[in-house]
Structure 1
Amino acid sequence: MPLKSKQPRIMPLEPPFDAEVADALERLGPPIRLFRVWARRPELARGVAEWGRYYFSGRSALTVRQRELVIDRTTALCGADYEWGVHIATFAGQAGLDGAQIRSLAAGGPADACWDATDRAVLTAVDELRATADLSDGTWADLVAAVGEDGALDLLLVCGWYHAISFTVRALRLPLEPGTARPESP
Structure 2
Amino acid sequence: MSRIAPLEPPYDPAIQGQFDRIMRGAPPLVLFRVVAGQPRAWEKFRAGSLLDRGPLSLREREIVIDRTCALTACEYEWGVHVATFAGLAQLTDAQVRATVHGAADAPCWSEGEKSLIAAVDALHVSATLNDAEFTALSAHYDDAQIFEIILLCGFYRTVSYLANALDLPLEEKAARFPTSAK
Using the size of structure 2 for normalisation, the TM-score is: 0.90
| Residue matched to 1:87 | 81
| Residue matched to 2:172 | 178
Instruction: Flag structure 2 segments of 5+ consecutive residues without an equivalent.
Output: none
| Residue matched to 1:112 | 106
Deviation at 1:50, TM superposition (A): 4.7
Deviation at 1:96, TM superposition (A): 1.0
| Aligned residue among 49, 52, 56 for 2:52 | 56
Q: How many residues align?
A: 177
Instruction: Flag structure 1 segments of 5+ consecutive residues without an equivalent.
Output: 1-6
Cα distance in 2 between the residues matched to 1:38 and 1:135: 31
Q: Say whether the 8 Å CA contact 2:74–2:164 is kept in structure 1.
A: yes
Query: What whole-Å deviation, never above 9, does each CA across 1:82-137 have from its counterpart, x for those lacking one?
Result: 00000000110111100000111111111111011011010000011111111110
Q: Say whether the 8 Å CA contact 1:106–1:183 is kept in structure 2.
A: yes
Determine if the alignment matches structure 1 residue 24 to structure 2 residue 18. Answer: yes
Q: Say whether the 8 Å CA contact 1:68–1:87 is kept in structure 2.
A: yes
Q: Give 3-state SS (helix, strand or coil) of 1:146's partner.
A: coil
Cα distance in 1 between the residues matched to 2:14 and 2:147: 34
| Residue matched to 1:38 | 35
Cα distance in 1 between the residues matched to 2:21 and 2:37: 14
RMSD (CA atoms): 1.7
Q: Give 3-state SS (helix, strand or coil) of 1:147's partner.
A: coil
Identity of aligned residues (%): 38
Using the size of structure 1 for normalisation, the TM-score is: 0.88
Q: Say whether the 8 Å CA contact 1:9–1:172 is kept in structure 2.
A: yes
Q: Give 3-state SS (helix, strand or coil) of 1:83's partner.
A: helix
